[in-house]
């Protein structure tokens, strides 16, 4: 845990925090905290009296006493401001991570004469052509003009499954910061400096601001009332004592005011937050803010990202569907043979599903394994008897069968559409020129979520899922996971709008996510929970990190938050009673 903390509090953050602590002495900032503002006003008065001890009919012998009072009050103010500056420094790290990913990006720029030169992504202009090879980062947003490749977009979206990108059609757009996994791509840059997807994310992160919880607002109001009440008491005491012929040093009145105002609440609130942060670590959650833990006690709405949060993000085999005229056994055996040497999660899941259904094959007849290629979008095996078994995307297998003068079964497209409508991925299987059926690949919902969401519902917490999927797919996943609702075809801006809509109704919103595109919404939410399996930007945007990547971990955190609220309420009651007793 200490290693993690060391990463969160860097030397740069400490230096900025010290500078920020002094800047926060500005009365325009201090007035937002009534207790500390009173302390600052008192420190200014005692500082003046330290310089001019005879002011207000004072005694020059009290200079040392006044200096000590001023020093103590200054130390109290400095450390209060320093702690707040540290917290702010942690929060600002999110935009720095996004900027760093842009800063380190390099590009192979293709000149007009066909030669290559290496440039920083910031030097690229609209219309430039770049070449990106396997294993390299795409330098900026653009459109593919040549090539087909598998692209890892997990650094941006948080989704683990690579996606296919190719020239022409609906899959030609690429995002800067993603990685080409296979083959190569020639990309035409479509955006200028400061206009890329990452730049938009940075602007959204910096534009989002956390709001105070209703409890914080109520407590702030109480502190203002109490502080003003005791201020009037102390101010009226001076002329009253003068009338009685008793001379009271101003420094004594300042000390009396500091004693009377509810410093117990202000002094112990940080301790409560730290205790909450320590308690959540028992549940494998890192809390970067004590206020975040307290806010969990008031959460009304929880918004979750789908991929990596509700689902695993890996497409796994769920069912085998044979076409007319093909037996289930023939279909499954072909699926197993094509996947025995397939090391992808999809391939392994096909073999596992077949074994679960009682099919065991050793693959002694396999002559050659054909690996997946981004060019043909198929994989499979060639057997000793020259039988060719292939599995792949519907369009790819259809083109493959057409080249071999095979026939497309009449019910194939219907089965493919049914799987797509359910939110799954159809994987078509063929043997030579004959199509055997379709494998239903499904993004699996994490086990136990439905029961835990039921518990959240009983606690009065509404659960919503945000996803870029179509409404039909979103509805299927939401129903299986037991969610209260969903927002389909959702972009980062839509997520922020959804959070602000809930907050405008006075609700406390918790958001979970794992992708860079979730960073702005994690910042906007009252409680931002990032999955440990997610991107670094998401973790730094959030104020809590779940090391187990379990979105329902908020159950335990909510219980701790409610406990902290009870503790804070007890301290508030004690402090008020204590101050009233002193006043009487």
Tell whether residue 346 is among the known ligand binding residues: yes
DSSP class per residue in 248-280: --HHHHHHHHHHHS-HHHHHHHHHHHHHHHHHH
Q: Per residue in 55-79, is it b (16+ CB within 10 Å) or e — as a string?
A: ebebeeebbebbbebbeebbebbee
What radius of gyration, in Å, describes the C-alpha atoms of the chain? 32
Cβ atoms of 382 and 432 within 8 Å: the answer is no
Helix (H) / strand (E) containing 6: helix 2-8
Residue 143 annotated as lining a ligand binding site: no
Q: Please say whether the beta carbons of 335 and 439 come within 8 A.
A: yes
Residues near 334 by beta carbon (within 8 Å), at least 6 away in sequence: 389, 429, 431, 436
Coil, strand, or helix at residue 44?
A: helix
The reply to whether 166 sits in an annotated binding site is no
Q: Is residue 518 within 8 Å of residue 261, measured between CB atoms? A: no
- Nearest CA to 173 out of 202, 152, 135, 142 is that of 142
Catalytic residue among 128, 152, 305, 469: 305
**DSSP string for 17-38:** HHHHHHHTTSHHHHTTSHHHHH
Angle at 502 (CA atoms; ends 500, 504), nearest 5 degrees: 65
Tokens of 508: 């406390």
Within a 10 A sphere around the Cβ of 270, how many other Cβ atoms?
Answer: 16
Active site residue 469: no
Q: Which two tokens stand for residue 497?
A: 């709008």
Give which of 497, 504, 502 is closest to 520, Cα–Cα.
497
Copy the structure tokens of residue 480. 């299986």
Q: Look-up: residue for tokens 């391939």?
A: 347
For residue 427, which of 360, 483, 350 has the smallest C-alpha distance?
Answer: 350
Residues 6+ apart with CB under 8 A from 470: 488, 489
Distance (Å, rounded) from C-alpha 396 to C-alpha 12? 53
Is 391 annotated as a binding-site member?
yes
Residue (of 420, 401, 400, 418) closest to 409 by Cα position: 401
- Could you give the CA distance from residue 530 to residue 441 in angstroms, rounded to a whole number? 27
The rounded distance, in Å, linking the Cα atoms of 204 and 245 is: 63
Q: What is the DSSP string of 196-262?
A: SHHHHHHHHHHH------HHHHHHHHHHHHHHHHHHHHHHHHHHHHHHTT----HHHHHHHHHHHS-
518 is in an annotated binding site: yes
Q: Point out the annotated binding site for Mg(2+).
A: 514, 518
Q: Point out the annotated binding site for ATP.
A: 342, 346, 391
Q: Point out the annotated binding site.
A: 342, 346, 391, 514, 518
Catalytic residue positions, numbered: 305
């Amino acid at each position: 845990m200490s290693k993690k903390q060391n990463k969160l509090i860097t030397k740069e953050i400490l230096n900025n925090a010290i500078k920020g602590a002094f800047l926060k002495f500005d009365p325009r900032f201090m007035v937002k905290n009534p207790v500390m503002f009173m302390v600052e006003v008192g420190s200014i008065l005692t500082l003046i009296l330290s310089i001019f001890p005879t002011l207000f009919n004072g005694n020059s012998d009290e200079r040392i006493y006044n200096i000590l009072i001023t020093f103590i009050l200054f130390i109290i103010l400095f450390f209060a401001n320093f702690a707040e500056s540290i917290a702010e420094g942690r929060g600002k790290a999110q935009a720095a991570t996004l900027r760093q990913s842009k800063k380190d990006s390099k590009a192979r720029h293709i000149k007009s004469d066909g030669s290559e030169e290496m440039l920083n992504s910031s030097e690229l202009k609209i219309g430039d052509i770049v070449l990106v090879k396997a294993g390299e980062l795409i330098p900026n947003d653009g459109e593919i003009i040549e090539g087909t490749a598998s692209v890892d977009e997990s650094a941006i979206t948080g989704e683990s499954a690579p996606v296919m990108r190719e020239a022409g059609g609906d899959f030609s757009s690429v995002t800067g910061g993603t990685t080409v996994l296979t083959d190569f791509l020639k990309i035409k840059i479509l955006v200028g400096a400061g206009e890329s997807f990452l730049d938009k994310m940075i602007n959204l992160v910096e534009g989002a601001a956390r709001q105070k919880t209703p409890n914080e607002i109520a407590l702030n109001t109480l502190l203002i009332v109490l502080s003003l009440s005791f201020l009037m008491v102390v101010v009226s005491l001076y002329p009253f004592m003068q009338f009685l012929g008793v001379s009271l040093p101003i420094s004594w009145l300042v000390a009396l005011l500091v004693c009377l105002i509810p410093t117990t609440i202000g002094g112990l609130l940080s301790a409560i937050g730290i205790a909450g942060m320590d308690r959540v670590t028992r549940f494998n959650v890192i809390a970067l803010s004590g206020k975040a833990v307290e806010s969990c006690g008031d959460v009304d709405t929880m918004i979750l990202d789908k991929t990596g949060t509700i689902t695993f993000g890996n497409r796994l085999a769920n069912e085998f569907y044979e076409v007319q005229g093909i037996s289930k056994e023939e279909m499954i055996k072909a699926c197993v043979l094509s996947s025995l040497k397939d090391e992808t999660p999809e391939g392994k899941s096909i073999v596992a599903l077949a074994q679960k259904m009682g099919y065991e094959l050793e693959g002694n007849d396999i002559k050659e394994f054909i690996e997946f290629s981004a060019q043909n979008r198929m994989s499979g095996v060639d057997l000793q008897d020259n039988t060719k078994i292939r599995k792949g995307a519907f369009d790819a297998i259809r083109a493959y069968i057409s080249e071999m003068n095979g026939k497309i079964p009449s019910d194939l497209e219907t089965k493919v559409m049914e799987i797509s409508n359910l939110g799954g991925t159809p994987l078509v299987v063929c043997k030579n020129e004959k199509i055997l059926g379709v494998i239903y690949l499904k993004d699996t919902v994490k086990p136990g979520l439905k029961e835990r969401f039921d518990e959240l519902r009983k606690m009065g917490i509404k659960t919503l899922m945000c996803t870029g999927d179509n409404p039909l797919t979103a509805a299927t996943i939401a129903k299986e996971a037991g969610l209260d609702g969903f927002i389909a075809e959702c972009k980062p801006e839509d997520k922020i709008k959804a959070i602000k809509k809930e907050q405008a109704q006075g609700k406390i919103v918790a958001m979970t996510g794992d992708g860079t595109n979730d960073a702005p919404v994690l910042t906007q939410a009252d409680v931002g929970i990032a999955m440990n399996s997610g991107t670094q930007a998401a973790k730094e945007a959030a104020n809590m990190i779940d090391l187990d990547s379990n979105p329902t971990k908020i159950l335990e955190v909510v219980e701790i938050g409610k406990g902290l609220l009870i503790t804070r309420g007890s301290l508030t009651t004690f402090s008020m009673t204590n101050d009233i007793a002193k006043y009487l």
